[in-house]
């Protein structure tokens, strides 16, 4: 068994049709996995799958819906015969003062960022158990948190709540499923240049300067900065790593 080799493995990346999800999918495909890119926007999905060549397919799914999550997993296993790696990455943000959110906005952010990870993990579980039992390295769940899993920001109440929750969800899954040879970890990205943060830059004056000042690496991350950590956490190289959360942030969590 080679430490960072994913040959023969099958992965689902939710929100894999763009941004950080696509950056991680590139890493997984480069290490030999076949990757299902899941999202709602089929045009973006087709473009992303083409970028990855024969290693990837797009499957349409709204991961806030239980039936879509179950279908995504069932279709993946029907097509590729197995499921070894689940990356819960789909996410969204709505920026407001905490006192101004509607209940619907609160639920939209929580459902997209947190409930989706629960629904996909639950649907994937029997197939991850089968993968873990094959003893070709552990089966893997990788949840995408944020540096806001750790610290606050004034215009991110539901976002920060969802990202804090996903860190605790990661620990729960890790402790419950260790017996099945399933490892579960979270990645906490810093500020990465994607559609999500492009809209933030348009809405929040001075954000670009604040990010550069807050990040010791003095640059925004790019989605491909997440490729390596995705491979590590999806591969046998991390079989004794579980229940933890690893920043990938150019050092911003290290700064007081």
Could you tell me the two tokens for 173?
């899954």
Q: Taking the CA of residue 123 as centre, how many other CA atoms within 13 Å lie in the half-sphere pointing to its CB? A: 25
The 10 Å CB-count burial string (b at 16+, else e) for 194-221 is: bebbeebeeebeebeeebeebbeeeebb
Among 76, 121, 131, 146, binds ligand NDP (CB under 6 A): 146
- Residue 163 C-beta: closest distance to ligand NDP, Å: 7
Q: Are 91 and 120 in contact (CB under 8 A)?
A: no
Q: Are 255 and 214 in contact (CB under 8 A)?
A: yes
Binders of ligand NDP in range 34-63 (CB under 6 A): 39-41, 44, 61-63
Neighbours of 254 (CB within 10 A): 9
How far, rounded to the nearest angstrom, does the alpha carbon of residue 117 sit from its chain's CA centroid?
Answer: 9
132 touches ligand NDP (CB under 6 A):
no
Binders of ligand NDP in range 7-26 (CB under 6 A): 14-15, 17-21
* 143: three-class secondary structure by DSSP: strand
Binders of ligand NDP in range 97-126 (CB under 6 A): 112-113
Q: Catalytic: 159?
A: yes
Is the CB of 55 or the CB of 192 nearer to ligand NDP? 192
Among 24, 36, 91, 185, binds ligand NDP (CB under 6 A): 91
Among 194, 227, 235, 238, binds ligand NDP (CB under 6 A): 194
Site of interaction with ligand NDP (CB under 6 A): 14-15, 17-21, 39-41, 44, 61-64, 89-92, 112-113, 144, 146, 189, 191-192, 194-197
- Catalytic residues, by residue number, are 159
């Amino acid at each position: 068994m080679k430490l960072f080799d994913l040959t023969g493995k099958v992965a689902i990346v939710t929100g894999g049709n763009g941004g950080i999800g696509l950056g991680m999918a590139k890493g997984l495909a480069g290490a030999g996995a076949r990757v299902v890119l899941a999202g709602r926007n089929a045009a973006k999905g087709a473009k992303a799958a083409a970028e990855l060549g024969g290693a990837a397919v797009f499957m349409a799914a709204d991961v806030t819906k239980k039936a879509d999550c179950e279908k995504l997993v069932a279709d993946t296993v029907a097509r590729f015969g197995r499921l070894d790696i689940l990356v819960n990455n789909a996410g969204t943000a709505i920026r407001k003062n905490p006192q101004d959110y509607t209940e619907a906005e609160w639920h939209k952010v929580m459902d997209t960022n947190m409930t989706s990870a629960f629904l996909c993990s639950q649907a994937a579980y029997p197939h991850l158990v089968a993968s873990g039992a094959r003893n070709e390295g552990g089966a893997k769940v990788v949840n995408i948190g944020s540096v806001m899993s750790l610290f606050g920001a004034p215009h991110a109440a539901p976002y920060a709540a969802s990202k804090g929750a996903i860190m605790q969800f990661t620990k729960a899954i890790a402790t419950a499923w260790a017996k099945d040879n399933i490892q579960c970890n979270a990645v906490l990205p810093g500020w990465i240049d994607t559609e999500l943060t492009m809209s933030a830059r348009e809405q929040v004056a001075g954000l670009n300067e604040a990010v550069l000042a807050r990040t010791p690496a003095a640059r925004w991350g790019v989605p491909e900065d997440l490729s390596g950590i995705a491979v590590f956490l999806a591969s046998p190289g991390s079989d004794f790593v579980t229940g933890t959360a690893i920043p990938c942030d150019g050092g911003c969590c290290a700064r007081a």
